[in-house]
Structure 1
Amino acid sequence: MLIAGGVVGGLGSGCQVERGSGSFEEQVLPDAGEVDVGPGEDVGLGDGAGAGTLGGTWLQAHRASSCVLGQEQVSMGYYLVRIEEDGELLREQRRLCALDLSPVAGLRPLVPPAVIATIQSPEIDRGFVTRPTPGGAYTSATEVGLWGLELEDPVGDAIPSDPQDPRVVDADADGEPGVSLEIAGSGCRRYMGQRQIVRYFGQLTHANLIEGGSATHTHAEVYGASASLCQISPPVEPNDAFSVFKMARIDGLGGALNLDADADGELTCEEAAPYFEALLAMREPERDHCRR
C-alpha cells in the first residue's frame, strides 16, 4: 500500500478495506470436506487438496513497490479476504490488518491502528477466476481505499485540496482533517487524505494458494502538519514490476490451514497475525528498482 510522501499504498498495498463490520450471507460450500479447528502441526499455508471453490476466508500479503524522488519505497500490507463465489465471479471483502512502510528521503511514515480502522473501501465491481484449481487465473475486484475522504464517486471524483471541503473528514477523530500519520523519530504528524486503487492478477499455484502481481494508483493530498518537515509530500509513482502478492486459504476448507483458534466461525487479524511473515515478508528497498 503506497502512501504519498513516504506513505505508500497497497492499493492496496495497500484493498477492499471496510470500516465497521460487514458480512455476507452464510455460504454453503459443497464437498469441502471436514473442517478441523485451530492450526494443525502438519498443515502449512497453501496446503490441502482444495475445496472446489474460492468461497471462504483467505489471508493476503501484498508487498508493493513505488518510486518517490527516485527512491524505492516498499510497503507490506496484510489482509483478511472474505470471498463469496458466484460461478466465475467473486465478491470480495478485504480488511487491512497491518501495514509497514519503508523510509524514503529519510522519513518513515507510521500508520496507527486508529487510521487503519477507518479506511473506507466501497464495492466497485467483482473479481473472477477461470477455475478454482491449480493453474486457474485470478483477477481481483477493483480495490478502492479512501483515507479521510468521503466521495460520491469513489473512483471518478477529484480529491479535494481544501481541508475545509466537506468531503474531507476527520476519520480518526483526532481533531485534524483527514487522517493523521506519524513520522518515525520526528515527533511530528501529517494530516492527509488519500485514494488508492489496486487490482491483483495471478493464478492458483496450489489449490489453496494464489500468487501474482498488482497494478496500483495512489493520489494523496496533504492538509497540514504539526511541523513543516512532515508537510513534504512528493508524488508517488507506481512500480508495479516489483509488486507481488500471495493469498492462502485459512478457514480449514479443502484441507487448508484453519486459524479459527476459538472456533467461533469468524477469523480475526489477531488469529492470523502469527502467519503474516510466513506468507510473505517485508524486504529492503533496492536502489536499482527506480532507475529510469
Structure 2
Amino acid sequence: MNVLNAALTKERDHFLQVIREACVIPDPFPHALIDGAFSEDFLEQLYRNLPDRNRFNDAGHGLHAFQIWDQSDDLQQWTDHRKAFWEACNQILFDDSVAAAFHELFSPARVSLYQSLFGNLANRRLSQIKLQPWASSGALNIRSAGSSLPTHMDWPNRLYSLILYLDPDITAQPEWGTRLFHGPKVTGQEGLNIMAKRAPDHVKSCRKEAATLIPFKPGRVAIFMNTPWSYHGASVNTESQAARWCLVKGINMTLEATENLFGLPPELN
C-alpha cells in the first residue's frame, strides 16, 4: 500500500502542476482541456482496477454507473481487492487541494459570471461559496453503443464538471467526446431562475451542428463551469458494440451554500 500511496502522491503533484498551467477557454462557456494529466502507467493501473461490468448499475438510457465516491454503497459493499485502489484515489489523488486548484483556475470566469447574475451583490455571493470534500463525488460511467447523453444543464450545487476519458477496450472514437452547446447567455434574475431550475431553460434551442466538440482522447481531462447556459451532451455513434468509458467527478458546493445562493430545487432536498 505504501508503494501505491507514493505513486498516487506523485500523480497528484503532477496533476496540480498541469492544472496551474492550464488555460480556460471562454466559449461557449468556460471550460478547459488537459492532456497528459496522468502517466500511462497510472492509466494502465486504473484499467486493471476497474470493477467488473456486472457491478455497474443500470441508470437507464444506455448508461451504467459505478459510484466511486468515498461513502457510496457501490464502493462500500465491494469486497474485491481492487477496492483499495479507489479508496486510495479518494484519499490522495482526488484530494481537496486538486479541487481547490481547479476552483482557482476558474476564478476570473466565476467572478464574471457572478457579476452578471448578482450585480452589486457579486462579492458577497462569491464569499458564500463553500466546497464539499472532493472525495464525496465521483462515478465510473459506461455508455453503450447507440446511446446518448441528452443535452442538459447541471444542478445549481455543481460548480464544475470534470470528465476523465477512459479507453480500457481501446475502441474509443473522437466523436464520442462531450459536446458543449451554444445557447443564449442569459444573465440577471432570469439567469438565476434558470440556474436554480425555477424557470424553463433554452435546451431546445441547442443545435448539434453549432456545438463545440471536445474530442474523446484516452486520458484527457475535460472540465467546464456550470452557468445558466452550460448545455452539454454526448452520443456513442458506432456500428460495433464498443462502449464509452469515463470517470465523472463534480466539484460541488455544500447544499447549505447552494440554498443560500440559489435556493434548493426539490430534487436536492
Same fold (TM over 0.5): no
**TM-score using structure 2 length:** 0.25
Q: Which has the higher strand share?
A: 1
Q: Which has the higher helix share?
A: 2
**TM-score using structure 1 length:** 0.24
